[in-house]
């Protein structure tokens, strides 16, 4: 049953997975080649700036992969009003578990591409003697972060259904109102408070503020 769900999701997502994988493999090397080309082993500052830019690309890619893989199966189920999934001889919770796991397995493909792309980029660039390459560490961070974002999007999609976008907009609206209210009455700054809690351990977005560096000290 799981293999069937996995195969179906693979069929739906293979085109974009191919694009993600290709991007993860080639773009870091391209960024390094363009930005540090012509500089030598001692240009540490230029190297770290280029690597930070590549790091921003990896964060973006983790978001795109995770949201893409979470939304597509829901849209397919939603188009048939979930009749197919509810008619299967397994409980709904089990079916959803299969759906979730299938997406988590598919995320491995871009992760491998991140590992190989970062590895290729660090092998072809002149890494200064005081810096080190971390392609494996970066790939682990990519996978765990993508998995977390994927789970959050999956939750939003399967709990809020077709109102997911409205829920997100409503949350943003509530935050804006809270922020304006807090500004006017001089109380706690809602944005700062929320951002601090989300990006500090054990907050779910802590990974965004980490060092996504394929080459670092």
* Alpha-carbon span 46 to 215, nearest angstrom: 12
199 lines the binding site for another protein (CB under 8 A): no
122 lines the binding site for another protein (CB under 8 A): no
79 lines the binding site for another protein (CB under 8 A): no
Which of 1, 75, 126, 155 touches another protein by CB under 8 A?
155
Cis peptide bond upstream of 202, omega within 30: yes
181 lines the binding site for another protein (CB under 8 A): no
H helices present in 37-134, as ranges: 44-79, 83-87, 92-106, 108-124
**Alpha-carbon dihedral angle through residues 150, 154, 156, 160, given to the nearest 10 degrees:** 160
* Alpha-carbon span 109 to 107, nearest angstrom: 5
208: three-class secondary structure by DSSP: helix
166 lines the binding site for another protein (CB under 8 A): no
147 lines the binding site for another protein (CB under 8 A): yes
18 lines the binding site for another protein (CB under 8 A): no
Binding footprint of another protein on the chain (CB under 8 A): 38-46, 48, 77, 81-82, 86, 92-93, 96-97, 100, 129-131, 134, 136-138, 140-141, 144-145, 147-148, 150-152, 154-155, 158-159, 161, 183-186, 188-189, 192-193, 196, 201-204, 206-207, 210-214, 216-217
């Amino acid at each position: 049953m799981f293999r069937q769900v996995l195969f179906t999701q693979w069929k739906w997502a293979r085109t974009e997975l191919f694009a993600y994988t290709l991007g993860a493999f080639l773009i870091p090397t391209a960024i390094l080649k363009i930005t540090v080309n012509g500089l030598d082993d001692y240009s540490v500052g230029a190297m770290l700036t280029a690597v930070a830019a590549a790091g921003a690309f990896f964060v973006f890619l983790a978001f795109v992969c995770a949201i893409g893989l979470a939304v597509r199966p829901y849209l397919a189920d939603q188009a048939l009003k979930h009749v197919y999934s509810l008619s299967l001889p397994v409980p709904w919770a089990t079916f959803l578990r299969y759906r979730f796991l299938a997406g988590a397995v598919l995320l491995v493909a871009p992760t491998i591409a991140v590992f190989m792309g970062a590895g290729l980029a660090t092998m072809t660039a002149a890494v200064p003697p005081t810096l080190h390459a971390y392609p494996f560490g970066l790939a682990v961070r990519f996978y765990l972060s993508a998995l977390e974002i994927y789970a959050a999007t999956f939750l939003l999609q399967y709990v809020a259904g077709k109102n997911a976008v409205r829920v997100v907009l409503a949350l943003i609206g509530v935050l804006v109102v809270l922020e304006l209210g807090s500004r006017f009455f001089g109380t706690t700054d809602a944005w700062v408070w929320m951002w601090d809690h989300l990006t500090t351990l054990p907050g779910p977005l802590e990974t965004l503020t980490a060092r996504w560096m394929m080459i670092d000290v």
